[in-house]
Amino acid sequence: MANLKWKTPRSKTRSRRAANWKLNPVTTVDCPQCKQAKRPHFACQFCGFYNGRQVVQPKDPHAGHDHG
Ligand SMILES: [Zn+2]
Q: Is position 31 within any domain?
A: yes
CA 48 – ligand 1 centroid, Å: 6
Q: Given this model, what pLDDT does residue 68 score? A: 64
The verdict on residue 43 lying in a domain is yes
Position 7 in a domain: no
Q: 23: CA distance to ligand 1 center in Å? A: 26
Q: What are phi and psi of 44, to 5 degrees?
A: -65, 135
Contact 16, 24 (CB under 8 A): no
Can you give the C-alpha Rg of the chain in angstroms? 23
Query: Residue-wise pLDDT tens for the chain (68 aa)?
Result: 688 888 888 888 888 877 777 787 789 999 999 999 999 999 999 999 999 999 988 877 666 677 66
What is the 41 CA–ligand 1 centroid distance (Å)? 12
pTM of the model: 0.52
CB-based neighbours (< 5 A) of ligand 1, an ion: 31, 33-34, 44, 46-47
How many domains are there within the chain? 1
Q: What is the DSSP string of the chain?
A: -PPPSSPPPHHHHTTSGGGG--S-----EE-TTT--EE-TTS--TTT-EETTEE-SPPP-TTTTS---
How many Å lie between the centroid of ligand 1 and the Cα of residue 24?
22
Question: Is 38 within the bounds of a domain?
Answer: yes
Residue 68 lies in a domain: no
